[in-house]
Amino acid sequence: MGHIVIAYHLCVGCGACAEVCPDIFEMIENKAWLKYSDDITLCEQARVICPVGAITIEEDEK
Ligand code: SF4
């Protein structure tokens, strides 16, 4: 398992992640926020589409 991390200093507020994965991301004051961060499979599209690479998936420590 892993979890989704948004690098807020990189996010430019384009809204692409919230468009492709509205169950996981929402836009608040021009930044992407996580609504739900457990389903890393679902967010793969958002990770790829983010133009600045602000979305990463970190492995949970075992
Ligand atoms: S796709 Fe990336 S830059 Fe665009 S709102 Fe989402 S996290 Fe921010």
* Domain positions in the chain: 2-59
CA of 36 to the centre of ligand 1 (A): 15
Q: Which residues sit with their C-beta closer than 6 Å to ligand 1?
A: 6, 11-17, 32, 50-52, 54-55
**What does the pLDDT profile of the chain (62 residues) look like in tens digits?**
678 899 999 999 999 999 999 989 999 999 999 987 666 676 788 999 999 999 998 887 76
For residue 48, give every residue at least 6 positions away whose Cβ sits within 8 Å of its Cβ, in sequence order, or none: none
Q: Give CA–CA dist 3/8, Å, rounded.
A: 16
* Torsion, CA 46, CA 37, CA 61, CA 41, rounded to 10: -50
- Determine which residue's CA is closest to atom 3 belonging to ligand 1: 11
Q: What pLDDT shows up at residue 50?
A: 97
Q: How far is CA 56 from the centre of its chain?
A: 7
For residue 22, give every residue at least 6 positions away whose Cβ sits within 8 Å of its Cβ, in sequence order, or none: none
Question: What does pTM read for this prediction?
Answer: 0.87
Q: How far is CA 49 from the centre of its chain?
A: 10
2-59 CATH fold: Alpha-Beta Plaits (3.30.70)
Atom nearest to 46 CA in ligand 1: 1
Q: What pLDDT shows up at residue 16?
A: 97
Q: What pLDDT shows up at residue 56?
A: 92
